[in-house]
Amino acid sequence: MVSPGTGRRYPLSVVCGQWRVPRSTVYARRQGSGCSKPQPLKRGPRTAVSDAELLGAIRSVLADSPFHTQGHRKVRARLRPRGIFVGKNRVLRLMREHRLLAPHRRGHARGDRRHRGTIITERPNEMWGTDAARLWTRQEGCCWFFGAIDHCSEDIVGWHVAKRGDRWAALEPIRQGVQRTHGRYAPKVALGLSLRMDWGPQYTADQFRGELAWLGIRPSHSYVGQPECNGIMERWIRTLKEECIYLHDFETLAEAREVIGEFIERYNREWLLERHGHRTPADVRQALTKKAA
- The helix or strand, by DSSP H or E, that contains position 221, with its residue range, turns out to be strand 218-221
The domain ranges of the chain are: 1-46, 51-97, 127-292
Contact 174, 210 (CB under 8 A): no
What share of the chain in percent tops pLDDT 90? 67
Q: Round to whole Å and give the CA distance between 129 and 293.
A: 24
pLDDT digits (tens, 9 = 90+) for 224-281: 767 678 999 999 999 999 999 999 999 999 999 999 999 999 999 999 999 999 999 9
- Least reliable range by pLDDT among 43-52, 84-93, 195-204, 207-216: 43-52
What share of the chain in percent tops pLDDT 70? 86
Q: Round to whole Å and give the CA distance between 151 and 28.
A: 59
Contact 120, 98 (CB under 8 A): no
Q: What is the pLDDT of residue 39?
A: 47
Q: Right CATH number for 127-292 from 3.30.420.10, 3.90.1150.10, 3.10.180.10, 3.40.50.2300?
A: 3.30.420.10
| Torsion of the alpha carbons at 243, 247, 251 and 254, rounded to the nearest 10 | -10
Residue 36 pLDDT class (50, 70, 90 cuts): very low
Residue 15 pLDDT class (50, 70, 90 cuts): confident
Residue 24 pLDDT class (50, 70, 90 cuts): confident
Cα angle, residue 258 at apex, residues 267 and 165 outer, rounded to 5°: 95
CA distances from 183 to 157, 186, 189 (A): 12, 10, 9
More confident residue, 103 or 258: 258
Interacting residues of 17 by C-beta distance below 8 A, sequence separation 6+: none
Q: Answer yes or no: is pLDDT of 34 > 60.
A: no
- Least reliable range by pLDDT among 96-105, 138-147, 189-198, 232-241: 96-105
Q: Answer yes or no: is pLDDT of 32 > 70.
A: no
pLDDT digits (tens, 9 = 90+) for 110-122: 555 555 678 899 9
Q: Answer yes or no: is pLDDT of 105 > 80.
A: no
CB count in 10 Å sphere of residue 263: 20
Q: What is the mean pLDDT of residues 156-185?
A: 96
Mean model confidence pLDDT for the chain: 87
Shortest CA distance to 161 belongs to which of 182, 138, 140?
Answer: 140
Residue 23 pLDDT class (50, 70, 90 cuts): confident
The 3-state DSSP class for residue 235 equals: helix
Pairing of strands 127-137, 194-197: parallel
